[in-house]
Structure 1
Amino acid sequence: MTGTTFSRTAAPIPEKQAWRALAALCIGLFVTLLDQSLVAVSLPRIAEELDASINQVVWVSAVYLLTFAVPLLITGRLGDRFGQRNVYLVGMAVFTLGALACSLAPTIEWLILLRAVQGLGGSLINPQPLSIIHRIFAHDRRGAATGVWSAVASSAGLFGPVLGGVLVGTVGWRWVFFVYVPLGVLSLVMVARNVPRLPTGTSRIDLLSGLVSLIAVLGVVFSLQQGPEVGWSWWLWVVLGVGVLAFLLFIRLQRTAGRRGTEALVPLGLFGHRNFALGAFAVFTLGFTVYSVNLPIMLYLQVGQGLPSEVAGLMLVPMGVISVFMAPVVGRITDRVPPGRISRIGFTAMIAAMTLFGVFMHLELSAWWILLPVVALGFANSMCWAPNSTISMRDLPGALVGAGSGVYNTSRQVGAVVGAAALGAVMQMGEGTLSFGAAMGNALLLPVVLLLAGLVAVSRFRGDGGDGGESAGR
């Protein structure tokens, strides 16, 4: 694989300093990913107090994911040009102020609008840390660093349902958003003090491609999201068609970026690196699954099984505990063995977990049965995320690391947006025609198809030995 000379050079700062910087960045990661599980617990109460439909409640989550995902290609390049540290700080300020405004939202419409602002802040934050990690850690320490990164992400899954359940059950859903404010301020202070200023590039940002990518994702997601509510009217198919055409135009714009005197948002040379191309697709399937399952699970436990929000949140604790303790161990292992081997185990476990969720909900089994797939999902999370990011990113040449980070994060978040929209559509189509458990179960069976494709992708990583690829463990 080309470009490995850069990847294998020594870290530009002492390792002790790199770990302090990682700790500061992890606060921001925790805050932005806490949203996925924290807000999901509050949605049934939000629907009740703000008199919102299921579609509007889905949009409280979906619009955050949408404004988070769509600008990632641009926000990743903003980090390259103006400094990852600077863009991160601006993003955290926007995210924190957006959360404060959400806590004061008077109507469901205002809440959806303000969630879009909060998502934009998250989009500015998200691409920067992965680029920083791969610039400040030596090649043979990146697996350990991404293992810690994954453990913090998993801890958000642990604390989110518990904290959300307690807040909603005691002081109300508005505190679910207000709790971000002190965490956001802490993140701003820690990153300003501990993250180094790294050299920046002078690349131009292709705003035309960014606009076209926005139209493409909006067209597809809006169509999936609104289809069940408006009965798949003809105009919605036009919107979907516009989204697909915009996607094709986006690809053409990337091919012609050089002739237009700019740099591609998605350098097509990235996909000449086999492991990156496979990993980007695999993380799309992970995003589709993991970031969209909390809503149907919480609705099933609270509405279908009648559990209080506090108890429903506690039901997801085993998933977070397992992920937190296993992720650092798995991260260290990825520095020593081909990560694709670990990824295959993780994807298989995740397929099993989603299948069990779907079957148990169809059978409308007691809520306690849900603990089985919850445990399986915790195991799967720890085995999927760190190995996938490590093998996808660590051998990219230096000139492509920033762009690769943006594309990798975009793949994950676009998967999350499409997943939220698709699962929301399945839930709405099942409402009124199927039992509540069956409607939620169908939504959780949908990701299995994507995960099977993801399993095929990680099974084709080079460096797993015997295929002539570069050894991932060296």
Structure 2
Amino acid sequence: MTSASDPHGRVPASAQGRNPWLVLIVLCLGFFMILLDTTIVNIAIPNMIDELHATLDQILWVINAYILAYAVLLITAGRLGDLFGPKRLFIIGLIVFTIASAACGLAQTPNQLIFFRVVQGVGGALLTPQTLSMLTIIFPPAKRGAAFGIWGAVAGVATIAGPTLGGWLVTYYSWRWIFFVNVPVGILTLILAFVLMPDIHINVRHRLDWLGTGLATLGLFLVCFGLIEGQSHDWGKVWGPITIPMIIVLGVVVLAIFMWQQYAQRAKEPLVPFEIFRDRNYSLMNFVVAGISFGMLGLFLPLVIYLQSVLGLTALQAGLTLAPMSVISMFVAPVAGRLSDRFGGKWILFSGLTLWTVGLSIVLASVHPDSTRWHLLPGLLVAGFGLGMTFAPLQTIAMLNVAPRLAGAASGMITTTRQLGAVIGSAAVGALLQAQLSKTLTTTATANAAALPEQYRSQFVEGFSDAASKGLEVGAGQTGAALPSGLPAQVLQAITALAQKTFHEAFTSAMRNTLVLPLIVLGMAALTVLLVRRKPVK
């Protein structure tokens, strides 16, 4: 075991007897698996519904159960890393995640799969904060940017590569392989972790704030549950008189009590040490990382639907369309990390967010009902450059002045903020997209109905109005509305073609209006970077 004698809890790499770059490889392998599982499952939904005879609501919980368990435990897991050492928590999280992945692949019912996804989320939450805290401890500040650059490249690639890898596995094998693929990677990472990772403990006695842990877990669970379930319950009642807004408000109240309790305990050892927020750069980066996650999830939700439902691409083709952005990001991120070490991260991060926003604006301008995936490529390439310039400088700015004894709490907090930004972005953009669809479907159907014989026009418009009011299943091959029965073959063919045209035009219009929201959030995040102090605190 390596311990520290520095009063600030700093553990120099030379004292560890380990090559920090080899340790970085181990951390990135584990982190890649965790992030990949937040996106890879989406592509397999139709296959899982067929094989497990599951309802759509059950399959949505297969996705959300992982996110929920992952989000609510991150702060606690970060503090546990401070208490028992990041290596121990990393290995425990890796074992839990790998076993749960195998169990997910073997699940025979939807409820079994949901349960094992919760266990997967627990393992992911235990593992993730340890990657950032370990990097902060083993790398000196002069080299930390390069390390965060590689870490950031892995984060960017994992988030975007999920649909591509998932589409390939589902197309050529089975949905079960999106979970089985974690098992050999997990075993390899576990062996490398035992051999290469130093067992570091800071010479500061820690204790866990059990009351704070309970309040944080309950508050985050209520907020995340409300955001995830809001759209499926039409933001109304869930159980009896209890509504989604009531659950979210209660979660916010519990979190406010948590923050008050943490402030009252500041002289002792709270779960979230307030001293980490004394650094203005760290506080600002919490907002920026939430904005980045909001923009990323807000973009991909409508874009993946557009690629499959409007352009008619397969799951694999849709994933490959997004692949150039991840490839560009993968090569740019390490360079951005080295530049952050030399020149500071402020202007690199600002440039990255600006390029990302510009790239997504180009994508938005290229979206039309008759577009092809090649029309989207220029914007995606620009966005990839921007994305690659965000992760490394952001982590460098956020963690530069954080004492290693607080690295676990700080990394757990900023990772939680990232995950909450993703949940809020997905929920907000999903709700806005549904509202826009309800409006554009009826408007577009009314305009296009003029091409039909008069006796069929009212039925055509009513079909789309009913579909909009009940909520759409925007899957591949969607026409947008149930067509009247008993129609002559020639008329049915004409109405089917017009219905598909109507849906494509309406969804494209709704998508263009919806994507303005994540662009605004990303723009605000970019402007926030201008408030960063360039001179590091000694």
| Fold in common (TM above 0.5) | yes
Unmatched runs of 5 consecutive residues or more in structure 1? 464-469
Distance in 2 (CA, whole Å) between partners of 1:369 and 1:15 is 51
Over residues 449-470 of structure 1, what are the superposed CA-to-partner deviations in whole Å (9 max), with x where a residue is unaligned? 322221122111101xxxxxx2
Distance in 2 (CA, whole Å) between partners of 1:360 and 1:50 is 38
Distance in 2 (CA, whole Å) between partners of 1:352 and 1:53 is 39
Specify whether residues 198 and 322 from structure 1 end up closer, same or farther in structure 2 by C-alpha distance, changes over 3 A only: same
One-letter amino acid of the structure 1 residue matched with residue 149 of structure 2 = G
**Residue 360 of structure 1: how far off its partner (Å):** 4.3
Please state if 1:454 is matched with 2:457.
Answer: no
Distance in 1 (CA, whole Å) between partners of 2:525 and 2:17 is 34
Q: Which residue of 2 aligns with 1:35?
A: 37
Q: Which residue of 1 aligns with 2:106?
A: 104
- Contact 1:46 1:52 (8 Å CA) reproduced: yes
Q: Indicate the larger mover: 107-116 or 47-56.
A: 47-56
Aligned partner of 1:165 among 164, 167, 179: 167
Q: Indicate the larger mover: 277-286 or 30-39.
A: 30-39
Specify whether residues 5 and 452 from structure 1 end up closer, same or farther in structure 2 by C-alpha distance, changes over 3 A only: farther
Aligned partner of 1:250 among 250, 254, 258: 258
**Residue 427 of structure 1: how far off its partner (Å):** 4.3
3-state SS of paired residue (2:343): coil
Query: Cα RMSD over matched residues?
Result: 2.7
> Identity, % of aligned pairs?
37
One-letter amino acid of the structure 2 residue matched with residue 460 of structure 1 = L
Q: Which runs of 4+ in 1 moved over 6 A?
A: none
Specify whether residues 55 and 212 from structure 1 end up closer, same or farther in structure 2 by C-alpha distance, changes over 3 A only: same
Q: Which one has the largest radius of gyration?
A: 2
Distance in 2 (CA, whole Å) between partners of 1:152 and 1:66 is 22
- Contact 1:42 1:165 (8 Å CA) reproduced: yes
Q: Indicate the larger mover: 266-275 or 390-399.
A: 390-399
Q: Which residue of 2 aligns with 1:62?
A: 64
- Contact 1:74 1:210 (8 Å CA) reproduced: yes
- Contact 2:216 2:255 (8 Å CA) reproduced: yes
Q: Which residue of 2 aligns with 1:136?
A: 138
Q: Which residue of 2 aligns with 1:124?
A: 126
One-letter amino acid of the structure 2 residue matched with residue 77 of structure 1 = R
One-letter amino acid of the structure 1 residue matched with residue 256 of structure 2 = L
Q: Relative contact order (C-alpha < 8 Å, sep 6+): which is higher?
A: 1
Unmatched runs of 5 consecutive residues or more in structure 2? 1-5, 238-242, 439-466, 469-502
Query: With structure 2 as the length reference, what TM-score do the two structures score?
Result: 0.79
**Residue 183 of structure 1: how far off its partner (Å):** 0.9
Distance in 1 (CA, whole Å) between partners of 2:23 and 2:326 is 24
Over residues 407-444 of structure 1, what are the superposed CA-to-partner deviations in whole Å (9 max), with x where a residue is unaligned? 12221122122223333434444474373344555554
Distance in 1 (CA, whole Å) between partners of 2:350 and 2:279 is 20
Q: Which residue of 2 aligns with 1:205?
A: 208
One-letter amino acid of the structure 2 residue matched with residue 288 of structure 1 = F
Distance in 2 (CA, whole Å) between partners of 1:226 and 1:116 is 16
Distance in 2 (CA, whole Å) between partners of 1:438 and 1:369 is 17
Distance in 1 (CA, whole Å) between partners of 2:281 and 2:163 is 34
Over residues 17-70 of structure 1, what are the superposed CA-to-partner deviations in whole Å (9 max), with x where a residue is unaligned? 111111111110111122234223323433455565665544433332221111
Over residues 150-175 of structure 1, what are the superposed CA-to-partner deviations in whole Å (9 max), with x where a residue is unaligned? 12223324643332221111112111
Q: Indicate the larger mover: 92-101 or 345-354.
A: 345-354
Counterpart mapping for 1:63-78 below 5 A: 63-78=65-80
3-state SS of paired residue (2:313): coil
Distance in 2 (CA, whole Å) between partners of 1:409 and 1:44 is 30
Over residues 107-160 of structure 1, what are the superposed CA-to-partner deviations in whole Å (9 max), with x where a residue is unaligned? 444433322221111000000011111111111010111111112223324643
Please state if 1:391 is matched with 2:391.
Answer: no
Distance in 2 (CA, whole Å) between partners of 1:396 and 1:302 is 44
Distance in 1 (CA, whole Å) between partners of 2:60 and 2:379 is 23
Distance in 2 (CA, whole Å) between partners of 1:421 and 1:445 is 15
Distance in 2 (CA, whole Å) between partners of 1:231 and 1:76 is 35
Query: With structure 1 as the length reference, what TM-score do the two structures score?
Result: 0.89
One-letter amino acid of the structure 2 residue matched with residue 462 of structure 1 = R
